[in-house]
Amino acid sequence: MSTYTVTDPDTGSEVDLARVRKEKDPERWKWRAISIVVVLTFLAIWELLPRLGLVAPIILPPASAVWAGLLELVVQETFMGHLRVTLVEMVVGFVIGTIVGFSIGVGLGVWESVKKSVYPLVVAFQSLPKIVLAPLLITWFGYGIESKIAMAVVIAFFPVLINTMVGLETVPDEARQLMRSMRASRSQVFRKLSLPHAAPFIMAGIKTGLTFAVIGAIVGEFVGSSEGLGYLLHAYSFQLRIDKVFAVIVILSAIGAILYFAIDWLERRLVYWRNDSGLA
Amino acid sequence: MKALEPVNLSVDRGEFICLVGPSGCGKTTLLKITAALLTPTQGTVVFKDAPLLEPSRSIGVMFQRPVLLPWRTVEKNAYLPAEISGTMGPATVERVARVLAMVGLRDFATALPDHLSGGMQQRAALARTLAYEPELMLMDEPFGALDEFTREAMNLELSELTQQAGITSLFVTHNIPEAVFLADRVVVMSPRPGRISGIVEVPFPKPRHVDFMRDPAFTELTFEVRRILSEAEAKSTDPHGGQR
C-alpha cells in the first residue's frame, strides 16, 4: 500500500493512515522472540525430566521419543484414513453447526415473538452438559461418521446462535432511527445495518464453535468408533504406547491450530473495521 | 407524565430555527415528532401543506452522535440514503463528491470512520444528510460532543451551507450563544411540563460572520433568551415543592 497522507481539517495536522497500523511492529518482533524462547524451554524440560529419571518414561516419554513416534505414525498405511475421517467429522460438524446456529440466532434476534417463545428451550438445552448425549447419538446414528458429526453439531452450534442473537440485538437505537428516517424497509435494515453490525459477534461465535466442533468429534470417537484420531488415541492408550498417544495429541492440536488460524485469517478480511467501538 | 404541553410553531421555507432549553424541556421529543420518528398523542405535523404521518425523504435528520456505519468508508456512508431509496447512480456519486468537498472531507472519501477525529466524523454525517438534498434538516445537538473550537467552525459552515442550499432547519441545542448565532428565530423551551415559553427574533442577515458575536445586539439577544428561561423557571416551580 502506498503512503496515504492527508490533513485533518479540524487540527490542521498531517495524518498518515498507513502508518497508524504499523507503529507497533518492533515491539511485536521482540515478544515473538520471547515466546519462542518460552516454547524451547518447555520442550527442554519435557526432554530432561524422563532422561534424568525424575519421571518414568512410561508416564512421560521424552519429547524426542514423541517426535520419533510421530514420524513412525504418519507413515503408517492406515494413518491417512484415520486423519481423513476425523477431519471430515470436524469440518462437516462445524459447517452444519454454524448454519444451524446462525439460522436460529437470526430467528431469535429479529423476531421478538420467536425469542419469547423459543428462548427458554434454548437455555434449557444449553445448561445440559452435551457430552452426556454422546452414547445416545451413537445409539441413534450408529458407530460410523454420522454420530460424530451429530456430536460436533450439537456442541458447536450454540456459541454461534448466542452471538448472532446478541449481535443483532445490540444495534444502537440511533442507527435504527436513522434508517427509519430514510424510510428503509425491514429487509434493508437487516442487510445494511443489523447483519454487518452483528458480523464481529458472529465471527467470534464461529471461532468458539470451531474449537467446540473439534472437541465434539473426538469425544464422539472416544465413546464408540472403529476409526479416527480419537479412536487411535484411545487404542494406543490401552496398549500403553504413550509416545504414540502424545504423537496423536500433537497432531490434534496442530489440526486445531490450523483450523483456528484459517478462521482468524477469514475474520480479519470479513470484519476489517475496528470492532470494539460499535457505531462511530 | 406528559413530555410536552400543546405546542404550536410554524416555520417558513428557508428559515433557521433553534430550539433552546434545559434538559427535559422536550426539545428532542419535539424534533422527533417533527421527523415522524415519534407519533404525538395529540395533534399533527403539517409539512408542505400535508399532514406528515411517516418519515419523509425530504427531511434529513442529524443526531448528537454521527451514527456512521463503521464498515463503510466516508463516501459509502454518504451513498446510504440513495441506496435505500433505490436512486443510487452516477448522479449520486457526483453529488456526494461535491458535498464531501464542501465539508472539507474530499481527501477522506475512502477512509473508514474510525480513522477520523470526532469533528471529521460529524462532518461526514453532515455530508450524508446534505447528499440527501433535504428540504428540511432536523438536527439534535449535532455538534454537542465536539470541542469548542471545532464546534464554532462547524456552526459557521452549517450557517453558510444551509443558507446557500435554501434548506429549512430545526436545530436543537442547550447552548444559548450558539442558538443566537445560527437562528432566524430562537424558540425558548422550558421543562416540567415541556413547553414553548418564548420566541426571540434574530433580525441579522445571513450567512453570519464570527464578528456577529462581538456585536452588542448579539449580547443583548442572548440575555433576552436567558431572561425568558429564568422567568419560565420561576413559573414552573412545583407547588408541592418536589421535583416530580
**Of residues A9, A196, A273, nearest to B104 (C-beta):** A9
Q: Are residues B202 and B172 in the same domain?
A: yes
B21: in domain? yes
**So what's the pLDDT on residue A276?**
53
ipTM: 0.85
Q: Are residues B156 and B217 in the same domain?
A: yes
CATH number, domain containing residue B195: 3.40.50.300
Q: Are residues B90 and B152 in the same domain?
A: no
Residue recorded with cell 477522506: B108
**So what's the pLDDT on residue A1?**
35
DSSP B214: G
**So what's the pLDDT on residue B74?**
95
Using CA coordinates, name the residue in chain A closest to B146: A10
Domain count, chain B: 2
- Write down which residue in B133, B164, B183 finishes a domain: B133
**So what's the pLDDT on residue A8?**
59
Residue B113: give the domain boundaries.
Answer: 68-133
Task: Produce one character per residue of A226-239: b if its CB has 16 or more CB atoms within 10 Å, e if not.
Answer: ebbbbbbbbebeee
Which residues on B lie below 8 Å from A17 (Cβ)? 111, 115
Q: Are residues B82 and B166 in the same domain?
A: no
Global pTM? 0.82
Query: Is the bond preceding B207 in cis, omega lying within 30 degrees of 0?
Result: yes
Pick the most confident of A19-23, A36-40, B84-88, B237-241.
Answer: A36-40
Q: Are residues B169 and B227 in the same domain?
A: yes
Would you list which residues of chain B are within 8 Å, Cβ to Cβ, of chain A? 32, 35, 37, 54-57, 59-61, 63, 65-71, 80-81, 83-85, 104-105, 107-108, 111-117, 119-121, 123, 132, 149-150, 153
**Of residues B55, B56, B67, nearest to A279 (C-beta):** B67
B173: in domain? yes
Using CA coordinates, name the residue in chain A closest to B104: A9
Secondary structure (DSSP) of B124-143: HHHHHHHHT--SEEEEESTT
pLDDT 10s digits, B135-152: 999 999 988 888 888 888
Q: CA B205 → CA A100, A102, B151, B159, B221, distances in Å?
A: 63, 58, 21, 11, 15
B73: in domain? yes
Residue of A194, A204, A197, A193 lying closest to A267 (CA atoms) = A204
Q: Are residues B6 and B118 in the same domain?
A: no
Which residues on B lie below 8 Å from A193 (Cβ)? 69
- Are A141 and A223 contacting, i.e. CB atoms less than 8 angstroms apart? no
B63: in domain? no
pLDDT at residue A12 tops 80 = no
- Are A221 and A209 contacting, i.e. CB atoms less than 8 angstroms apart? no
pLDDT at residue A230 tops 90 = yes
CA distance linking residue B26 with residue B14, whole number of Å: 24
CA distance linking residue B140 with residue A52, whole number of Å: 75
- Write down which residue in B118, B133, B148 finishes a domain: B133
CA distance linking residue B31 with residue B48, whole number of Å: 17
Task: Tell me what the pLDDT averaged over chain A comes to.
Answer: 88
Using CA coordinates, name the residue in chain A closest to B71: A273
**So what's the pLDDT on residue A28?**
85
Asked if A177's CB is within 8 angstroms of B37's CB, the reply is yes
Residue with the bigger pLDDT between B9 and A105: it is A105
**So what's the pLDDT on residue A177?**
92
pLDDT category of residue B238 using cuts at 50, 70 and 90: low
Q: Are residues B116 and B207 in the same domain?
A: no
**What architecture is domain A63-270?**
Orthogonal Bundle (1.10)
Mutate to test the interface with A, among B68, B84, B154 (most CBs of A within 10 A): B84
pLDDT at residue B239 tops 70 = no
Residue with the bigger pLDDT between A22 and A67: it is A67
Which residues on B lie below 8 Å from A278 (Cβ)? 70
CA distance linking residue A152 with residue A137, whole number of Å: 11
